[in-house]
Chains A and B, each alone.
Chain A
């Protein structure tokens, strides 16, 4: 929306030409100027400049919806609202499963089963809606090369023996899981940017990134001064892109982190008795909305 050209914001042709002489071509350039600067570049009076501001804002502003409309839309298609994880107590705590349309983060010390969980979710997403799946394809962005296709087939065959009774069905399932191996932050970001087209062409219903922390840890050493800002930049940009994609296409997305038992300065949510420090710090966590919490924890909130 920010890069929308002023021409499409319904400003007059001559005004657009005049503004382009000052290198103001997009709505972003226009809205970042103060009123006096706008008067100078457009040559209009105060009142007219305010009218122009309103016109350009109308072109950029989001559409209004009431919370009731949102609820109605979700309830029309209840199966599309969540992806059940097939772990009943987890689904109960999460109010149905992994919510579609938002970002979910999974974090734990190494060896707890995050990648196994991701592989299981991939299988679940390819199942038909009647079995609790999303009947669609999966994009799996693997940064640690931890994905094993054999394990995928093993899980599918053992978990749903009645459904995957033939090799044909298994291969059909594996064909709909698209694996991308990305080993640098840059390539991960590029992959995320290209997601929009892939989702439409391949009918993707689930996106998994396993894991975010490994690429970040490899490239950004927080002891060096400028790196913290750059790292936050990368994470925030990736997260906002993912959120946009998730909401646009109503897709659940899973991101993995690995924890280390090192004492870093930032304290993460602790489970009773143990202290697990997540590698990414608290300010990075603003980016995601929810993560599956330990069902045995006393405070339960369905936020």
Chain B
């Protein structure tokens, strides 16, 4: 109530007028009323009413904050967070080695960045995740939908259909082995058509379309509340060419990162970005580093770097707040993103700390 007039989110011209007229606190404004306000400052009554509504809303929001309630402050204890994290699902990648080093899979409410040279499998992993996020809960998935924002045009529907078919087949095998009621029920709705119709695809041709789409994303996610994964395939591509003003680029990227963090938290979804690699010239050698500069490295919570070692594809966990750095091999098969054969020895349930909702791993059938 004692809030200073200069800090209210009114239009700058109106604020300047209020200050010039001598108003100091929000309380004064509310006491004056719309008619008095319009006469004193010389604005119309409708404008005065609108301004007062804004002020009232702001003060109500402030009061809630000082009273310490409501989720807008996002205050909670670490214990509550721990409980939340333990019940939260992961989006599995079908490559158990990768899931292990990630601590279970791609985490919800966090931004994961995948960097790698072209052709190493970044888009493949994104398509795999867009299918895996839809796995029903009884099979150990999060039963969500996916938003796929494509800036490079590398999304191939036929490939996504192949991956989806393999995933459905995998779940069918599990259902046959376990013969449980809810498995069979879930399988009725888990089909190729339903998977593909829950991947929402946006094709952004340049950085303006990407920015516009991310501005509109919160509204879209409120309408489609089951979305649990947002993939932006190629966050680097629209920003890497034709940008003379590098400071503008940094500002836009930071704004983008902020919005994505808010989206990830508010809608409890995972955000996956793919980045390109660029060459950094050292003294007398050159190395491949993730593109978009050093400051972009802070945007993602988890960073994976995919690279080649002769003919073997490797994934390195480069940055993670909770898992240690490690490198594992993986394969891209006609069924999608998989482990290298032979798969790692399946461990007993007691031996490893596994997510209790995860179904036990089966041997890969080719």
Which A residues lie at the B interface, using CB under 8 A?
1-2, 27-28, 31-32, 34, 39-40, 42-48, 53-54, 56-71, 74, 95, 99, 102-103, 232-233, 236-237, 240, 243-244, 246-247, 265-266, 269, 281-283, 285-289, 298-303
The smallest beta-carbon distance between B310 and chain A, in angstroms, is 8
17 contacts between A and B (CB under 8 A): A54-B216, A60-B209, A64-B200, A67-B161, A102-B153, A232-B241, A236-B237, A236-B242, A237-B241, A244-B205, A247-B203, A281-B279, A282-B277, A286-B234, A288-B118, A289-B154, A299-B332
Residues of B whose CB lies within 8 Å of any CB of A are 9-14, 50-51, 54, 117-119, 123-124, 130, 148, 152-162, 193, 195-209, 211-213, 215-216, 219-220, 234, 236-237, 240-242, 248, 251-252, 255, 276-279, 285-286, 288, 291, 311, 331-334
**Nearest A residue (CB) for B156:** A303
Q: Are the C-beta atoms of B216 and A285 separated by less than 8 Å?
A: no
Known A44-B11, A240-B205, A244-B205: A60·B241 in contact at CB below 8 Å: no
B221 to chain A, nearest CB (A): 12
The residue of chain A having its C-beta at the shortest distance from the C-beta of B131 within the complex is A67
B152 A67 Cβ-Cβ under 8 A: no
Instruction: Indicate if the CB atoms of B157 and A243 lie closer than 8 Å.
Output: no
State whether B54 touches A47 (Cβ < 8 A): yes
- A31 and B157 contact, CB distance less than 8 A: no
Q: Which residues of A contact B207 (CB under 8 A)?
A: 2
Contact call A67/B196, Cβ cutoff below 8 A: yes
Decide: B198 and A66 in contact? CB cutoff 8 A.
yes
Partner of A283 from B10, B196, B197, B279 at Cβ < 8 Å: B279
With A56-B212, A67-B196, A99-B156 as contacts: A32 and B248 at CB distance below 8 Å: yes
In whole angstroms, how far apart are the Cα atoms of A68 and B197 in the complex? 5
B118 touches A286 (CB 8 A): yes
| Contact assessment for B159 and A68 in the assembled complex, using a CB-CB cutoff below 8 Å | no
> Sorted from nearest, which 8 A-B pairs have the closest CB atoms?
A236-B241, A46-B9, A57-B212, A2-B208, A68-B196, A68-B197, A60-B212, A67-B199
Q: Give A68 Cβ to nearest chain B Cβ, in Å.
A: 4
Interface pair A58/B211, CB less than 8 Å apart: no
Report how far A62 CA is from B114 CA in the complex, Å.
Answer: 24
B189 to chain A, nearest CB (A): 14
Interface centre among A67, A99, A237, A300 (most CB of B within 10 A): A67
Contact of B159 among A47, A237, A285, A302 (CB under 8 A): A302
Q: Which of B193, B197, B200, B215 has the most CB of A within 10 A?
A: B215
Residues of B within 8 A of A27 (CB): 208, 212
Which one of B148, B193, B206 contacts A68 once the chains associate, using CB atoms below 8 Å?
A: B193
Is B208 a contact partner of A39 (Cβ separation < 8 A)? no
Residues of B within 8 A of A67 (CB): 130, 148, 155, 157, 160-161, 195-197, 199, 201
**A2 & B252 in contact (Cβ 8 Å cutoff):** no
How far is B213's CA from A68's CA once the two chains are assembled, in angstroms? Answer: 21
> Distance (Å) between the CB of A239 and the closest chain B CB?
9
Contacts A57-B212, A237-B242 given; indicate if A62 touches B203 (C-beta within 8 A): yes
Q: With A1-B208, A283-B277, A303-B156 known to touch, is A34 a contact of B148 (CB < 8 Å)?
A: no
Beta-carbon contact of A302 and B158 below 8 Å? yes
Tell me the minimal C-beta distance from A236 to chain B in angstroms: 3
A283 to chain B, nearest CB (A): 5
Q: Knowing A45-B54, A57-B212 are in contact, say whether A282-B286 is a contact too (CB < 8 A).
A: no
